[in-house]
Structure 1
Amino acid sequence: MSVQKLSNLSGVSTSQIHKIKSRENSSTNVEDASRIAGAFGKTVNEFLDNPELKVDIEIAQIVSELTPEERRFLLNAAKAQIASRSKPQD
């Protein structure tokens, strides 16, 4: 999820999200933390204690570094992987 999209969903400013993301300001107020967690459909406790979320965050960070062409390639590979799950094995 992009910083702008998270800002739009949570109501937390992009500058505050950038500070948190870069650990420039590793603390935030409870209201902002709750809003950010809520943007992911989580409570603050669920958001912080969810190991799967760490993987999702890492994926999002990596994807944000890809070129548009690399993103399309990754998207197509992911779609093919998902589609192969539903095909019967010979």
Structure 2
Amino acid sequence: MQKTFSQAFIEHLEQSDLKVTEIAIRAGVSKDALYSLKYGKSQNMAVDDAIRVAAVFGKKVEEFLGLSEAQIRSTLAEKVARLSSREQAILEASLDAILSDIYDHQVAEARDAIEEEEPG
């Protein structure tokens, strides 16, 4: 069974010398949100916040949660299989848009890097 973000947070907190306040400052999230995780009032948090909290511990979210790539793919496949054909089409279109945005961003970054290297 996959652990919750709260469970992973508690494990990482116990294994580190970091304090909740320090993590909140470094991650740019509220102390209250982290205390809610620590004391079990909430099990998960917003994706953007989770990414930043995991980064404080030097990890990606999937590493923070202890998931392997195979587990991630399996979980994703199971969830997609539960969707209707229409919902799968919407998901596919959304993923295409996200990947297109990522590609466009990478191309723009590469172009900017090349322009910076060229003599003026």
In the superposition, the TM-score normalised over structure 2's length comes to 0.40
Distance in 1 (CA, whole Å) between partners of 2:57 and 2:44 is 19
Identity of aligned residues (%): 34
Quick check: 1:32 aligned with 2:49? Answer: yes
By how many angstroms is 1:21 displaced? 1.0
Give the match for residue 43 of structure 1.
Answer: 60
By how many angstroms is 1:8 displaced? 1.0
Q: Which structure carries more relative contact order (alpha carbon 8 Å, separation 6+)?
A: 2
Counterpart residue identity of residue 30, structure 1: V
Distance in 1 (CA, whole Å) between partners of 2:58 and 2:19 is 16
Structure 1 runs of 4+ off > 2 angstroms? none
Post-superposition CA distance 1:12-63 (Å, at most 9, x none): 110000001111011211111101001111000011107xxxxxxxxxxxxx
Task: Report SS of the residue matched to 1:49.
Answer: coil
Any stretches of 5+ residues in structure 2 without a counterpart? Answer: 1-17, 68-120
Any stretches of 5+ residues in structure 1 without a counterpart? Answer: 51-90
Distance in 1 (CA, whole Å) between partners of 2:62 and 2:36 is 21
In the superposition, the TM-score normalised over structure 1's length comes to 0.52
Quick check: 1:12 aligned with 2:40? Answer: no
Q: Give the number of equivalent residue pairs.
A: 50
Distance in 1 (CA, whole Å) between partners of 2:22 and 2:36 is 16
Counterpart residue identity of residue 63, structure 2: E
Q: Tell me whether 20-29 or 36-45 shows the greater mean CA deviation.
A: 20-29
Q: Which has the larger radius of gyration?
A: 2
Task: Report SS of the residue matched to 1:41.
Answer: coil
